Structure 1
């Protein structure tokens, strides 16, 4: 880009200037790659129309200026193009500020690298390349595809890291991006006689390789920063998830001992009340005992699925369901759960039930606050199915629902805990929205019978 500002006849003959249209296409192409891998703001048709309009405007911005470049006009046009790239990504993608800036800087370096590489290859194969030549255009399309495929793959792999870009990662990206750009265009500062004794071929390869390596290294460093951010986030997730798992299991153990004691006391009190009724006929005493019995009977019956861990969990959740007018039904074949460790059984069912409770609480009509749990065998698989009414939109990412809480980095650990347990047993997890019901299905291979 900077070679347009500094004119040098010998250098221009050694390295043909990149056509403005090719630069515009490279910038648009890099924005397209970011849009493909990041969450969209609009439906597909509207996004395509936005991108088509952006391509036209981008080409006009690059090609409309036919006069000589001054320092200020060059900087102004360059800033205008960069801001337009930012506007395109913002218009097409639904991103927080840090993620938007990270995607923008990555797109900028990809555009620089794409324009440099494609035109350098064309200059090697053709003595006087022109975008009006069909052979040149075919080669350019092939090179765009070769550059786009790995960038698209890496973008999909690190899309979540772009979404969760933190302040530290963004600061480093803001340092690397302009540095890579300046190094890639460093040659314009020097005069022609500095470059390898005015040898045309040597100048061409020295300049072109400097640009390519600087842009490529910049892209590699940006993806490396995203990878470091990913490893750091996974480590944090694992620590938090383990703490949540331990807390859930301790809660289960505490409630199990408490609920057993309460159940025994309630059972004894029923017999005591019956004895008092027979020994005293006072109307006041009768009313008092009736009230006591009503309070005791309001205590939910202890669930009896046959599995003590699941019995304790369901009994605990029944208190919450009764308080919030939630209908919780279950059909469980407990014999199928005996081979799963109690701690992991607690984590798996505890999070499944908690997610369902959280979802139905968003329903205003108490009649529709329904949860159904079914545990059965399906061929050689253990099938765990949790259905709950759902009247709000659900966003999916990677086949799993995204948390509805505003701070997504600090939430969503329930599904992560479920996934970790399922992966240990080589199972599968599927979530879907079917006719107003959110369905979560867990399939685990059953162990061979002895």
Structure 2
């Protein structure tokens, strides 16, 4: 019974601490984390106990008791998170605001059921605790699986605008204050008391959901902005690599033509050596698109080194409306992904990449096919990387999709009979104007 009394007496503090576990950056714990956490939790309960003792002794304040409790609990929770984890004070406030919203939501849901049961007759003392536990499971598990886990990056829950964090905390505080004020003034003897109580607490739950939604939409914007910055950097790196590859290819072409001139004047005994050198450096593809020639020549060499056969059937003129480094980036990422997949395959007959580019009506259709030993995981319409450092990988397919969409096209992937298909469709030059927005 002592444990039951303790849990019920400190349910707000325990609930806030438990909910905070959903929103703190666990992979960024400060040194001596356990000592910091125990000290912070102890301080939280000590202040709450002192406050409760003062209230019993008749201590009065201009603010209601529940307002003081809320302010102290929230401030101490922010301090606990900030000093225990390597995060900013604003991040700590974000975590504390979300934690209190979850605690407020679960508490109201549980006590709505408690009041409904009390309206029918007496209940066991452990019923409220059981309902609190059930409400926490029903609320916290979906929040973690559906939202929190998706926004973690490098161990830190990302958020964007500080104003949104501050406003969310203020809105939640005002809502809790007003709802508590209204609840205290409800007439318990009225026939409509239960209906009024349930309606008021349902409003509190909806407001807590609104606060969490605002916070998570803030995280969503930040995640998208972060991804866009990474994709922009990737595309800029690809542009620089394309310029270097183009310069290198021009040097090779000059050398190739010099060798041809030497070959025409060389005696028979030297021609065999010149032929061998020309074969090694010549441009292997002539597709009608310079960028496509360069990327295929580069990737075919890498495929040959990896024991992978690159089979191409391409019409480069279909891509004449695309910027050269976009072609280099898009096809380079597509072939790199296929090579990475085939690197795990032992059967040499299956280590084949088929690339086809053709015109169908007014669309350029690009298809990359390769064997896949394990079907890829798709989440929210995007491929999920299998690498351990998922936060730093998986942007190749996003970059391909972004470039295709830049030109009014699409990029889709599917698997049939252990064959992975990347299908890109882009309007041919002259059929649609390219948008002016950035590629990524």
TM-score by length of 1: 0.59
Tell me which of 295, 301, 307 is aligned to 1:313. Answer: 295
Per-residue CA deviations over 1:34-88 (Å, capped at 9, x if unaligned) read xxxxxxxxxxxxxxxxxxxxxxxxxxxxxxxxx89952264699999999999xx
Say if 1:152 and 1:381 are closer, same or farther in 2 by CA, change over 3 A: farther
3-state SS, counterpart of residue 322 of structure 2: coil
CA contact (8 A) 2:363 2:425 kept: yes
Whole-angstrom CA distance in 2 between matches of 1:210 and 1:162: 34
| Number of the residue aligned with 2:150 | 160
Unpaired runs of at least 5, structure 2 = 28-94, 123-134, 160-164, 433-440
| Number of the residue aligned with 1:232 | 222
* C-alpha deviation, 1:209, in angstroms: 5.8
| Number of the residue aligned with 2:327 | 345
3-state SS, counterpart of residue 211 of structure 2: helix
Say if 1:265 and 1:368 are closer, same or farther in 2 by CA, change over 3 A: same
| Number of the residue aligned with 1:196 | 185
| Number of the residue aligned with 2:207 | 217
* C-alpha deviation, 1:429, in angstroms: 1.9
Whole-angstrom CA distance in 1 between matches of 2:184 and 2:106: 26
3-state SS, counterpart of residue 374 of structure 2: coil
| Number of the residue aligned with 1:325 | 307
**Which residues in structure 2 correspond to 1:282-321 (within 5 Å)?**
293-299=275-281, 301-321=283-303
Whole-angstrom CA distance in 2 between matches of 1:254 and 1:197: 75
1:375 paired to 2:365: no
Whole-angstrom CA distance in 1 between matches of 2:330 and 2:186: 71
Whole-angstrom CA distance in 2 between matches of 1:73 and 1:416: 48
CA contact (8 A) 2:153 2:391 kept: no
Is 206-215 or 365-374 further displaced after alignment? 206-215
Tell me which of 358, 368, 390 is aligned to 1:408. Answer: 390
3-state SS, counterpart of residue 316 of structure 1: helix
Whole-angstrom CA distance in 2 between matches of 1:407 and 1:244: 17
Say if 1:254 and 1:220 are closer, same or farther in 2 by CA, change over 3 A: same
Tell me which of 404, 420, 429 is aligned to 1:438. Answer: 420
Per-residue CA deviations over 1:346-375 (Å, capped at 9, x if unaligned) read 332222222222222232344432111111
Say if 1:327 and 1:352 are closer, same or farther in 2 by CA, change over 3 A: same
Unpaired runs of at least 5, structure 1 = 1-66, 90-95, 131-143
**Which residues in structure 2 correspond to 1:389-408 (within 5 Å)?**
389-408=371-390
* C-alpha deviation, 1:242, in angstroms: 1.1
Whole-angstrom CA distance in 2 between matches of 1:198 and 1:351: 68
Say if 1:72 and 1:393 are closer, same or farther in 2 by CA, change over 3 A: same
Say if 1:167 and 1:200 are closer, same or farther in 2 by CA, change over 3 A: same
Whole-angstrom CA distance in 2 between matches of 1:154 and 1:236: 21
Tell me which of 337, 341, 345 is aligned to 1:359. Answer: 341
* C-alpha deviation, 1:416, in angstroms: 1.8
CA contact (8 A) 1:300 1:319 kept: no
Say if 1:198 and 1:158 are closer, same or farther in 2 by CA, change over 3 A: closer
Per-residue CA deviations over 1:130-174 (Å, capped at 9, x if unaligned) read 9xxxxxxxxxxxxx9xxx9xx9899868873368872466xx89x
| Number of the residue aligned with 1:251 | 241
Say if 1:402 and 1:206 are closer, same or farther in 2 by CA, change over 3 A: same
Is 216-225 or 300-309 further displaced after alignment? 216-225
3-state SS, counterpart of residue 200 of structure 1: coil
| Number of the residue aligned with 2:42 | none
| Number of the residue aligned with 1:264 | 254
Per-residue CA deviations over 1:187-234 (Å, capped at 9, x if unaligned) read 6xx9xxx93385534865775566444443333222222211221121
CA contact (8 A) 1:386 1:439 kept: yes
Whole-angstrom CA distance in 2 between matches of 1:423 and 1:118: 50
3-state SS, counterpart of residue 258 of structure 1: helix
Per-residue CA deviations over 1:83-123 (Å, capped at 9, x if unaligned) read 9999xx9xxxxxx978xxx9x96876655455566788x79
